[in-house]
Amino acid sequence: MSTSTVTGQRIELVEETPYRWRIDRAGPMRVPGVVFASHRLLPELAGDQSLAQVVGVATLPGIVRAAYAMPDMHSGYGFPIGGVAATDIDEGGVVSPGGVGFDISCGVRLLLSDLSRADLAGQRLNRLMDALDRLIPRGLGRGAVWRLSRRDELDALLTGGSRYAVERGHGEPGDLAHCEDQGAVADADPAQVSERAMARGLGQVGSLGSGNHFLELQVVESVYDPALADAFGLTRGRVCVMIHCGSRGLGHQICSDHVQAMLRAMPRYGISVPDRQLACAPVTSPEGQRYLGAMAAAANYGRANRQLLTAATRTAFRRALGDAHSRLDLLYDVSHNLAKIETHTVDGRERRLCVHRKGATLALPPGHPGLPADLRPHGQPVLVPGSMGTASHVLAGVPGAEAFHSTCHGAGRLLSRHAAMRRIHGRTLREQLTAAGVAVRAASERGLAEEAPFAYKDVDEVVTTCERAGLARRVARLVPIGVVKG
C-alpha cells in the first residue's frame, strides 16, 4: 500500500498488480478509483492533482464500476487527462464537459503511404517537408485549408463531419469506412453552438492549431504482433503520416459555454460536486441534451478538420513526389476526447451508459459491430502518439478489457509548457532533432520548446503498461523522420 497526501487529501493507493492500483471508496465517493500505471508512471505528487481528480470523479451521480485513470494520466480540468468514467443514464447519470475537455474530439489519424524510408532519402524528404510546410495551416488562431464563408456551410459540416468534407471533394469515399462512427457523430445539434463558438470555427477548418498538435512523417520501426501488423498494413520501413488535432476554438468555446450553463443548473437537480470544474447535469436533462448536441457538433468539426488536413497532405505528396506516390490510405481515425452513449454489461445486466473518455482512446475488441468488416476480425487500431522526436505506437483493442474498451492516448505530460521553455530554447531543440534525423518545420521556436520530449512520460513504458494491464495489445512502433507543428 502507498499512502499519499494530495492538496490536504489523504489518498491511499493499494497495489493490486504491478500495473493496477486501487483507491478505495471514502467519503462522498460512489465507486472506487482504479489507476493503471507502473511504479515509475505513477503521477508525481508535487504539483500534479490527478489522483485527487480521480477521487473527485468518483463522486459523480450515476457513476458505475470505477473512476479510471490510464498510465499517461496527469492533471486536467476537473477530470484527469487520461480519465475514463461511465454514468448510468437511467439511474440519474450525469454528463460533465470536464470529462471531455476543451479540445472536443481531439484525436489521431494514421495514413499509410506506398513509400519506404529509402524512398525519402536526401532532397526528396526536404521537398516533401517544404510542401507540407506550405500547405498545412498551423499556429495559434491560424487556419485554414477550407475557409467557410457562410453559416449554413458550417452547420452542414457540424452535422456531417468527415462525410460532408468528402462530399465536397476533400477526400475519398473509402476514407470514411476507417473513421470512428464512419466519420460523423449522430445527433449533432448546431443550434446548441453559440454564435461566438461559430465565429471561432468559421476560419479554422482544416488547421493543426498549436500546443501538442502535429503532423508527422513516420516510419514503422518495430513490429510486436506480425499477424496484426500485416492486417493493418504496417510493414517494417513503411512511411506513414500521423495527424493529431481537434476542434480548435469552436470546441474550446463550446466547453466553456456549457460548463457555465451546468454550474447554474446543478442546484436545480440537487447536485453537489467537490470541484466546480466537475460541473455536470443529468444526461436526460435539457442542459445535458444541449451539451451532448453541441459536443457532437464539435466532434464532427474535429473529424472534418483531420479529413481536410488529409486532403492537403495528399496534395503535398503529389506536388513533391509526383502522382505515382500521392496515394495515402487511411488506417484509422479515432478521438480521445469524447463522451459517447454506449451499452455495457455492469453487475450482470446491460446498461445504457454515458462513457466519458478524456485523454483516453476507444479500443474496440475483435468482433465488435462498430468496426468495419475488414478490421472486425482483428480489433480496432489504437493510435498512440508519443512526444515530438520520440516514438508513436499502434495498438489494437482486446476482448475483456476492463475500462469500457478504453486505453491510453499518448505519452502524458510531466512538465508544463512554461517549465519546458525554461529548460530549452526552440532553436536548440530544432538542432537536436535535425541531428537525430528528424526534419522540422515549425511555426515558432516557442511552440517547439513547449513540446520538448523531456516534458513527457516514456511512451514505450505507457503502452507496455497498457498491454500488461490488459487494456490493449501492442502492434507496431513508429519513429518520426519529419514533424510539422505550430
Q: Is 244 a catalytic residue?
A: no
Residue type, 291: Y
Supply the DSSP symbol for 103: S
Assigned domain for 158 exists: yes
Assigned domain for 45 exists: no
The parts of the chain modelled with pLDDT lower than 50 are: 3-8, 46
Number of separate domains in the chain: 1
Q: Give the CA-trace dihedral at 187, 192, 193, 194, to 10 degrees.
A: 180
Q: Are 164 and 179 in contact (CB under 8 A)?
A: no
Give the closest residue to 407 by CA, choosing from 389, 425, 394: 394
pLDDT (0 to 100) of residue 6? 42
Assigned domain for 426 exists: no
The torsion angles phi and psi of 5, rounded to 5 degrees, stand at -115, 120
What CA–CA distance (Å, rounded) separates 468 from 20?
9
CA count, 13 A, side-chain hemisphere, 13: 25
Assigned domain for 126 exists: yes
Assigned domain for 460 exists: yes
pLDDT (0 to 100) of residue 9? 63
Give the closest residue to 231 by CA, choosing from 371, 362, 375: 375
pTM score: 0.95
Q: Are 430 and 448 in contact (CB under 8 A)?
A: yes
pLDDT (0 to 100) of residue 415? 86
**Alpha carbon distance, N-terminus to C-terminus of the chain:** 43
Q: Residues 47-61: pLDDT tens digits?
A: 689 999 999 999 999
Supply the DSSP symbol for 179: B
Cα-only R_g, the chain: 21
The DSSP string of 115-167 is EEGGGG-THHHHHHHHHHHHH---STT---SS---SHHHHHHHHHHHHHHHHH
pLDDT (0 to 100) of residue 136? 93
Residue type, 393: H
Assigned domain for 366 exists: yes
Which of 74, 244, 393, 409 is an active site residue?
409
Q: Classify burial at 130, counting beta carbons within 10 Å of its beta carbon; exposed 0-12, middle 13-18, buried 19 or more.
A: middle
Assigned domain for 472 exists: yes
pLDDT (0 to 100) of residue 4? 47
pLDDT (0 to 100) of residue 142? 58
E strands, 249-321, where?
A: 281-282
Which CATH number belongs to the domain containing residue 287 in this structure? 3.90.1860.10
What CA–CA distance (Å, rounded) separates 39 from 43?
9
- Cis peptide bond N-terminal to 316, omega within 30: no
**Residue ranges making up the domain that contains 155:** 107-414+456-485
439-442/473-485 β-pairing: parallel
Assigned domain for 20 exists: no
The torsion angles phi and psi of 355, rounded to 5 degrees, stand at -95, 115
